[in-house]
């Protein structure tokens, strides 16, 4: 069964953000289901829906790794299980 | 599938508008700990709470990490200690030893408050109830994380005026015992009319005897989210205003429901209720008073405040009820003074008085909450304030409460700092006319009639 996580990247747009995140995901067997991006109030917002059912990393470890990766690139990367959005926006 | 705008909206609520889960409270029954030997009783209480709650904080942090939502407090509520300690405790010191046990285990498992140092005396007091009440000043001065509450009346039983009189004295005494810390003990002591059995919020949380052995109750928050949503509908009709509050309350409560279910699953403890609350904190932008201002008032306390609050409270419930499978606790907007920057500002500006706050408690959750008054206020005056608030709860079939702090050594115009979530407060004037002869009458006020409603 799929276990969906939402990865969001917020910050200044720079070269290679998606590449860095995707490399990490591929290395850890996390499948990308959807990617979308937009500019909100001057900030680059990227959202990925990923399936972590085969992931080599536990959610907490993945979130920590993403925190670190975000710091390196100079953006904020968050990993949240899909349910929080689903519960809030769907009846 | 969820789209990026919904994701951004949720994350803005969390990051910019202070959306959080205010508390996961684990209710634990101590009825099976009862023993006539005090030291055995204390051991049993410690062990039961420790075993039940040892993973609570860790679980809360894990859920917080998974969903990216702050869970501010992890807390414990227990069966009212007057019932648990009755067989073993012969002196106030005996009861206070149980408070110390609760404090010790709270530190051990890492929760910031433990509630249930309580007595339910809405009709009468047993000797154990009275002894526990008399031990409250000692217990609160010797502990850090223990919260105490006393239920003094209900719609079905009337108001126990003997207990109201006693609590006026105990609040004064607690203030004296903790005067070195600006009478902080009184911030952890609340009296109720119609106290709910499943309240997750402090200082009034206790685990009622109607509850299961263990239960998870969750309190949500999000005044900032409601305020921001209302900024977008300035000048619109009441219909649009109300719809906006309702939809926002739905979203906020859904997060609480999710967290409650997850916590229940991870801890193997049944899910009790979600408390549909708007609970402010002293942080800027986390204020219920600011919502009232956004609705159209210059300050909380201006004419129209009671109506605006009634509307707000009702829409929060209407939106929240559909978002959760079980709703309970106090459910509604909280209006504490010291914990809400907008309320503090209103007091300082002279817009908000004790009497207006009393009127506001008729239409919202809880009651006179976190109000600092002069330290030389008489015990009978405090009892009179309590009796008024209990009467509002009794007649209107709702929960009301009083948590006031007579700050020893301070008077009107001065400020008291409690720190952290408890905030700070300007000391408010109290009506100085006497109610001694009223309060000193013995007995109880009979239950009200439930017909001929006017």
Q: Do domains B25-193 and B218-435 have the same CATH topology?
A: yes
Residue B366 pLDDT grade (very low, low, confident, very high; cuts 50, 70, 90): confident
Residue B193 DSSP SS3: strand
Structure confidence at residue A55 (pLDDT): 93
* Pairing mode, strands B189-193 and B400-407: antiparallel
**Beta-carbon count within 10 A of B34 CB:** 16
The span from the CA of B260 to the CA of B253, in Å, is 10
Structure confidence at residue B285 (pLDDT): 86
Over residues B341-355, the pLDDT tens digits come to: 999 999 999 999 999
Asked if residues A71 and A64 have their Cβ atoms less than 8 Å apart, the reply is: no
Cβ–Cβ below 8 Å for B66 and A37: no
Quick one: which of B331, B344, B319, B14 has its CA closest to B201? B331
- CATH superfamily name and code, A4-89: ACT domain (3.30.70.260)
**How confident is the model over B164-189, as a mean pLDDT?**
97
Asked if residues B257 and B268 have their Cβ atoms less than 8 Å apart, the reply is: no
- A39 touches B at CB < 8 Å: no
ipTM of the complex: 0.92
Asked if residues B57 and B108 have their Cβ atoms less than 8 Å apart, the reply is: no
Residue B67 pLDDT grade (very low, low, confident, very high; cuts 50, 70, 90): very high
The answer, yes or no, to whether residue B453 has pLDDT greater than 80, is no
pTM (2 decimals)? Answer: 0.94
Structure confidence at residue B430 (pLDDT): 97
Q: Is the peptide bond before B203 cis (omega within 30 degrees of 0)?
A: yes
Q: What's the alpha-carbon Rg for chain A, to the nearest Å?
A: 13
DSSP H/E element including B94: helix B92-109
Structure confidence at residue B342 (pLDDT): 96
Over residues B403-439, the pLDDT tens digits come to: 999 999 999 999 999 988 788 999 999 999 999 999 9
Angle between helices B305-323 and B288-295 (to 10 degrees): 110
CA distance B246 to chain A (A): 13
Task: For chain B, give every domain's residue range.
Answer: 25-193, 218-435
Cβ–Cβ below 8 Å for B62 and A60: yes
Asked if residues B318 and B249 have their Cβ atoms less than 8 Å apart, the reply is: yes
The answer, yes or no, to whether residue B451 has pLDDT greater than 90, is no
Over residues B296-324, the pLDDT tens digits come to: 999 999 999 999 999 999 999 999 999 99
The span from the CA of B389 to the CA of B441, in Å, is 18
The answer, yes or no, to whether residue B361 has pLDDT greater than 90, is yes
- Which tokens sit at B138? 């000692």
Q: What's the alpha-carbon Rg for chain B, to the nearest Å?
A: 21
Candidate from B11, B66, B254 with C-beta closest to A87: B254
Structure confidence at residue A42 (pLDDT): 79
Task: Calculate the alpha carbon distances from B52 to B78, B164, B247, B450 in Å.
Answer: 11, 34, 36, 42
Asked if residues A25 and A32 have their Cβ atoms less than 8 Å apart, the reply is: yes
Give the right CATH number for B25-193 from 3.20.70.20, 3.40.630.30, 3.40.50.150, 3.30.750.24.
3.20.70.20
The answer, yes or no, to whether residue B25 has pLDDT greater than 80, is yes
How confident is the prediction for chain B on average, in pLDDT? 95
- Which tokens sit at B158? 């009337």
Interface mutation vs chain A, best among B3, B4, B322, most A CBs within 10 Å: B4
Asked if residues B103 and B60 have their Cβ atoms less than 8 Å apart, the reply is: no
Looking at chain B, which residue has its C-alpha nearest residue A90? B2
- A3 touches B at CB < 8 Å: no
The answer, yes or no, to whether residue B262 has pLDDT greater than 80, is yes
CA distance B105 to chain A (A): 28
- B441 touches A at CB < 8 Å: no
Asked if residues A82 and A4 have their Cβ atoms less than 8 Å apart, the reply is: yes
Residues of A in contact with B1 (CB under 8 A): 34, 49
Cβ–Cβ below 8 Å for A47 and B10: no
**How confident is the model over B184-195, as a mean pLDDT?**
97
Structure confidence at residue B419 (pLDDT): 83
* Domain at B218-435, CATH class: alpha beta
Structure confidence at residue B314 (pLDDT): 95
């Amino acid at each position: 069964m799929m276990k969906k996580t939402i990865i969001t990247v917020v910050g200044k747009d720079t070269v290679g953000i998606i590449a860095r995140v995707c490399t990490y995901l591929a290395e850890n067997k996390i499948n990308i289901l959807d990617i979308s991006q937009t500019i909100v109030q001057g900030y680059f917002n990227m959202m990925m829906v990923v399936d972590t059912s085969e992931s080599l990393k536990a959610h907490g470890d993945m979130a920590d790794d993403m925190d670190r990766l975000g710091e390196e690139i100079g953006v904020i990367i968050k990993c949240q299980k899909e349910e929080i959005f689903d519960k809030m926006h769907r009846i | 599938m969820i789209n990026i705008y919904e994701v951004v909206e949720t994350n803005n609520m969390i990051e910019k508008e202070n959306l959080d889960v205010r508390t996961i409270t684990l209710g634990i029954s101590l009825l099976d700990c009862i023993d006539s030997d005090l030291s055995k009783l204390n051991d049993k209480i410690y062990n039961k709470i420790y075993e039940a709650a040892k993973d609570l904080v860790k679980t809360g942090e894990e859920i917080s990490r998974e969903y990216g939502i702050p869970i501010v407090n992890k807390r414990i509520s227990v069966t009212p200690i007057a019932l648990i300690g009755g067989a073993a405790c012969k002196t106030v010191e005996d009861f206070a030893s149980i408070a110390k046990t609760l404090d010790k285990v709270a530190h051990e498992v890492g929760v910031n408050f433990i509630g249930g140092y309580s007595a339910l005396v809405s009709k009468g007091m047993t000797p154990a109830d009275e002894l526990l009440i008399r031990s409250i000043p000692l217990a609160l001065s010797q502990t850090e994380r223990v919260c105490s509450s006393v239920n003094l009346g209900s719609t079905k039983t009337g108001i126990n005026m003997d207990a109201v009189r006693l609590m006026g004295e105990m609040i004064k005494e607690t203030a004296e015992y903790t005067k070195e810390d600006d009478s902080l003990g009184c911030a952890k002591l609340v009296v109720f009319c119609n106290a709910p059995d499943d309240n997750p919020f402090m200082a009034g949380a206790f685990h009622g005897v109607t509850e299961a052995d263990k239960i998870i109750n969750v309190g949500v928050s999000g005044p900032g989210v409601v305020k921001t949503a209302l900024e977008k509908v300035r000048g619109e009709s009441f219909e649009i205003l109300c719809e906006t509050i309702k939809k926002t309350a739905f979203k906020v409560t859904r997060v609480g429901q999710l967290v409650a279910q997850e916590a229940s699953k991870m801890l193997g403890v049944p899910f009790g209720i979600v408390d549909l609350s708007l609970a402010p904190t002293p942080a800027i932008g986390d204020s219920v008073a600011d919502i009232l201002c956004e609705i159209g008032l210059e300050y909380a306390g201006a004419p129209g405040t009671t109506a605006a609050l009634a509307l707000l409270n009702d829409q929060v419930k209407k939106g929240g009820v559909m978002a959760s499978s079980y709703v309970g606790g106090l459910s509604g907007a909280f209006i504490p003074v010291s914990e809400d920057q907008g309320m503090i500002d209103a007091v300082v500006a002279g817009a908000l008085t004790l009497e207006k706050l009393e009127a506001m408690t008729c239409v919202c959750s809880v009651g006179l909450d976190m109000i600092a008054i002069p330290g030389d206020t008489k015990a009978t005056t405090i009892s009179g304030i309590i009796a008024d608030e209990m009467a509002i709860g009794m007649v209107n079939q709702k929960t009301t409460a009083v948590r006031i702090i007579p700050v020893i050594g301070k008077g009107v115009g001065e400020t008291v700092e409690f720190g952290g979530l408890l905030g700070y407060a300007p000391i408010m004037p109290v009506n100085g006319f006497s109610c001694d002869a009223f309060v000193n009458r013995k007995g109880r006020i009979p239950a009200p009639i439930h017909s001929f409603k006017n």
